[in-house]
Amino acid sequence: MISRPDAREPRSQLAIVGAAATLGAAAGLPWIQSAPNPLALGSRFLVRNANLLSLIRDWPFAALIIVPAVVALIVACRRSPARAGWGLWTAGSLGLLAVWATSESIIAAGQASGTLARVALWGSGLWIALIGYGLIAYAGVLRLRRSPAANSQWLLLLPIVAIAAHAAWLIFYSEPAGNWLLQVFQQEARTGGIQRRIGEHLWLSAISTALSILIGIALGIWGYHRERVARASLYVAGVILTLPSLALFGMLMEPFSALARAFPVLRDYGIGGLGPAPAITGLTLYGLLPVIRNTYTGLKGVSAAQVDAARGMGMTGRQLMFLVLIPHALPVILAGIRQTAVMLTGIAALAQLIGGGGLGYYILMGINRASIAHILLGAVPAVLVAVAVDLALDWLGRRLTPKGLRLSKGVSA
Amino acid sequence: MSQPIIVFDGVTKTYAAKTAVDNLNLEINHGQTCVFIGPSGCGKTTSLRMINRLVEPTSGRILIDGKPNDSARPEELRRQIGYVIQGVGLFDHLTVAQNVGIVPRLLGWPKQRIDERVDELLTLVGLDPAVNRNKFPRQLSGGEQQRVGVARALAADPPILLMDEPFGALDPITRERLQDELIRIQQVVKKTIVFVTHDIHEAIKLADRIAIMRNGRLVQYDTPEAILWRPADEFVQEFVGTDRVLKALGLIPVWSVMEPGEPGPKWPGDWTASTVPVAATLRDALSAAIANGMRDTAVVDERGAVAGWIRRERLLTVLEDLQSREVAS
Ligand SMILES: Nc1ncnc2c1ncn2[C@@H]1O[C@H](COP(=O)(O)OP(=O)(O)OP(=O)(O)O)[C@@H](O)[C@H]1O
Ligand SMILES: [Mg+2]
């Protein structure tokens, strides 16, 4: 989809939606919520919902927050050329940075002037404004991508990098925040709690993904040779995926505690009805399907002519597998591995249900205490970890795909 | 030389419902090209694949150099036999050089020797190594892929080459050119070639011996000459077709009837209008003569210099001879 750079493009509906949502949220939805103490906030009894318009009176510069949205709306409504992508992207990222960077100052100013009580949280309006500006910036990137020269994917990362850097600074180095969410983050980060949970989370998902890969590839290869094995293992792995995770983890507790009762020495290695052992087992079982399926279909997808040629040239079964079949199936297998890895980093948040640890620790704590801050403390890093794993494996997959396979099927026959 | 290199000794292959090859007895001599031909499903591919044990016979034996072909591991056997399959089957993920070098690699040759061999073979099949060595199969045309397929089969210098409809999927012009190249390559490498085709022209052009099959049975095994003029039965006659004279012309090389001579008053002045190469057959010479208005036709060598002439009278005599044979049989 390459068009002439000066061609008139249709309106960017995505950017219009983003700008409208931002302006609407700024005008009508609670921007900051506050309460006299954390417990009141936790019970969702909000003493006060402060909207942006009332805050602007106390802290006039906050008006800057809505300027980029107005600009973006005007740019998006005109049938503008692809170059307008730069305008949208700039407005979106500036808005994103403005909303993020001013939120702490608004809370501090509001608390100082008495408009806000001691415990403050971002309100729905602020969240929606962030999403709206994100949409505007993304719409800009989409439009830039249509013009041939721009390789603008990396641009999208700039505001995110800036926000991440600022967030890290807030969490690790700045004064105790006025924002309750940030206070909780600061607390957990500075005592090392969150780092430990992220470490556990990565460890749980890495070990179980590795086991899923080993078992899944073995079953996929076996299934390639024996159709019945393929059908049976795909069926069983599919059934496992339909089990609710809670039930699967629960069902694994009993055999593991029986095992630990029978061989008490296992307890020294942390194996028992509760803890990481049943959690890793459960996660591994969950992760099997994509690996088995993609290994099997990837191997089956190698053309009969190539298999025949390989055998006719005197390859042994093992040489055929490692020199021809696996290199060919590699992109498909890696796609399955990526799916499993991302899925397991997500489900690993449930490991804490049976004492497995990980970021689920904060989420469960948040649910118990009805504390949004703790839920987010678990959920935000969990999402970031999953996205990072996804990007890393996507990159790896493209690197490992043999060059000859990246070429589209060529010319004649 | 004395003993045949491949012997089918009462070979039968039965699938559950069907006898694909029925009591096949056949001997192929060193350095000859044996072409299997017959209608689809008559057992050509099955016969071919029993030679390198991609298919195991139900009964009977196949001897290679006097030894049963199941006396060693099948992989050992296959590395001594080049194989060009029906669908090319180049490995998409490997470069042209890696494809060609795969059997030497399996045999554990040192890298240097593999590289040299790859360049030598690419040159032999008419692909410039410098240009093509690092390409991938998907970057090649169908004809180029087929050339790489032939180079790959020749890589470890096997005495036997199996080719299963190697040119079947190509357009007629490319096909014709690759057939010519195969004849040229065969003059250099002197392999025993077992070739499968549907195409009687291809068979007549390439074969020293033609094996005509029908429903798993060998109907006739003979020289192209004999197949044309002494068909064993009606089936073969029908298979050969009606234009036997033309086909027989295709068996006579130009050099065997040409007269030497420089261009001069004796020969037509505008001889460049239509010529034939030395490697061509009288069939090509006839086409050229027709294009000339049936005058004498110049025969040119690879460099385009005149090597001799086909006289119009000579061409007509050969034609008359063949026609009288046609009437007689
Ligand atoms: N693996 C198999 N299982 C069952 N029947 C088979 C098998 N392979 C071949 N046949 C049968 O054996 C017969 C001969 O097959 P073959 O492949 O040798 O034919 P062919 O002469 O090469 O035909 P074509 O010219 O179409 O390639 C066919 O009728 C085919 O259906
Ligand atoms: Mg066949």
Q: Which domains does chain B have, with CATH numbers?
A: 4-241 (3.40.50.300), 254-328 (3.10.580.10)
Asked if residue A222 is part of any domain, the answer here is yes
Q: What is the mean pLDDT of residues A226-246?
A: 91
Q: What is the domain range of residue A69?
A: 13-177
ipTM: 0.81
Task: Label each residue of B167-184 as H, E or C.
Answer: CCCCCHHHHHHHHHHHHH
- pLDDT for the residue numbered B232: 84
Per-residue confidence at B26, pLDDT binned at 50, 70, 90?
Answer: very high
Res. B29: pLDDT tops 60 = yes
Asked if residue A387 is part of any domain, the answer here is yes
What is the per-residue pLDDT across A103-112, written as a single tens digit (0 to 9) for each? 888 887 777 7
> What is the count of structural domains for chain A?
2
What is the per-residue pLDDT across A26-41, written as a single tens digit (0 to 9) for each? 888 888 888 776 665 5
Per-residue confidence at B2, pLDDT binned at 50, 70, 90?
Answer: low
- pLDDT for the residue numbered A309: 92
What is the per-residue pLDDT across A115-145, written as a single tens digit (0 to 9) for each? 777 778 888 888 899 999 999 988 888 887 7
Do A243 and A357 belong together in one domain? yes
- The overall average pLDDT reported for chain A is 83
- pLDDT for the residue numbered A79: 66
Which residue out of B75, B91, B106, B160 would a mutagenesis test of the A interface target, given it has the greatest number of A Cβ atoms within 10 Å?
A: B91
Going by DSSP bridges, is the β-strand pair A30-35/A48-51 parallel, antiparallel, or unpaired? antiparallel
**Nearest residue, CB atoms, A404 vs list B85, B93, B103:** B93
Task: Label each residue of B54-122 as H, E or C.
Answer: CCCCCEEEEEECCEECCCCCHHHHHHCEEEEECCECCCCCCCHHHHHCHHHHHCCCCHHHHHHHHHHHH
Question: In whole angstroms, what is the distance from residue B205 CA to residue B201 CA?
Answer: 6
Q: What is the mean pLDDT of residues B234-249?
A: 83
CB contact B101 to A (< 8 Å) = no
CB contact A406 to B (< 8 Å) = no
Do A52 and A153 belong together in one domain? yes
CATH number of the domain where residue A99 is located:
1.20.140
| Minimum Cα–Cα distance from A327: chain B residue | B93
Res. B53: pLDDT tops 50 = yes
Which residue out of A313, A320, A326, A400 would a mutagenesis test of the B interface target, given it has the greatest number of B Cβ atoms within 10 Å?
A: A313
Res. A202: pLDDT tops 60 = yes
- pLDDT for the residue numbered A272: 76
- pLDDT for the residue numbered A2: 46
- pLDDT for the residue numbered A247: 85
- pLDDT for the residue numbered A148: 59
Do A166 and A233 belong together in one domain? no
Residue nearest to atom 6 of ligand 1 (CA): B15
- pLDDT for the residue numbered A8: 58
Q: What is the dihedral of CA A304, A309, A314, A320, to 10 degrees?
A: -50
Cβ of B286 below 6 Å from ligand 1: no
Sequence-ordered list of residues with C-beta below 8 angstroms from that of A288, at least 6 positions apart, any chain:
A212, A215, A216, A219, A233, A237, A240, A340
Range A392-399, long-range pairs (CB < 8 A, 24+ positions)? A393/A334, A393/A337, A393/A338, A393/A341, A393/A342, A394/A338, A396/A334, A397/A331, A397/A334, A397/A335, A397/A338
Res. A292: pLDDT tops 80 = yes
Asked if B205 and B249 touch (Cβ cutoff 8 Å), the reply is no
More confident residue, B259 or A206: A206
Do A171 and A242 belong together in one domain? no
Q: What is the mean pLDDT of residues B241-254?
A: 82
Do A358 and A391 belong together in one domain? yes
Asked if residue A172 is part of any domain, the answer here is yes
Do A213 and A131 belong together in one domain? no
Res. A295: pLDDT tops 90 = yes
CB contact A316 to B (< 8 Å) = yes
pTM above 0.90, yes or no: no
- pLDDT for the residue numbered A3: 46
- pLDDT for the residue numbered A82: 65
Cβ of B42 below 6 Å from ligand 1: yes
- pLDDT for the residue numbered A1: 42
What is the per-residue pLDDT across B302-326, written as a single tens digit (0 to 9) for each? 888 888 888 888 888 888 888 888 7
CB contact B90 to A (< 8 Å) = yes
- Ion ligand 2: residues, Cβ under 5 Å: B 45
What is the per-residue pLDDT across B269-309, written as a single tens digit (0 to 9) for each? 777 777 888 878 888 888 888 887 888 888 888 888 888 88
What is the per-residue pLDDT across B170-198, written as a single tens digit (0 to 9) for each? 788 878 888 888 888 888 888 999 999 98
What is the per-residue pLDDT across A360-386, written as a single tens digit (0 to 9) for each? 899 988 888 877 788 888 998 999 999
Asked if residue A198 is part of any domain, the answer here is yes
Q: Tell me the C-alpha to C-alpha distance, in Å, between residue B81 and each of A251, B64, B182, B314.
A: 58, 10, 17, 43
Cα distance from A124 to chain B (closest Cα, Å)? 52
Burial A115-143 (b: 16+ CB within 10 A, else e): bbbebbbbbebbebbbebbbbbbbbbbbb
Residue A248, token pair as written in the block: 């699967």
Do A41 and A76 belong together in one domain? yes
CATH number of the domain where residue A329 is located:
1.10.3720.10
Q: Tell me the C-alpha to C-alpha distance, in Å, between residue A17 and each of A62, A76, A170, A314.
A: 22, 10, 31, 62
Inter-chain CB pairs, A–B, below 8 Å: 94
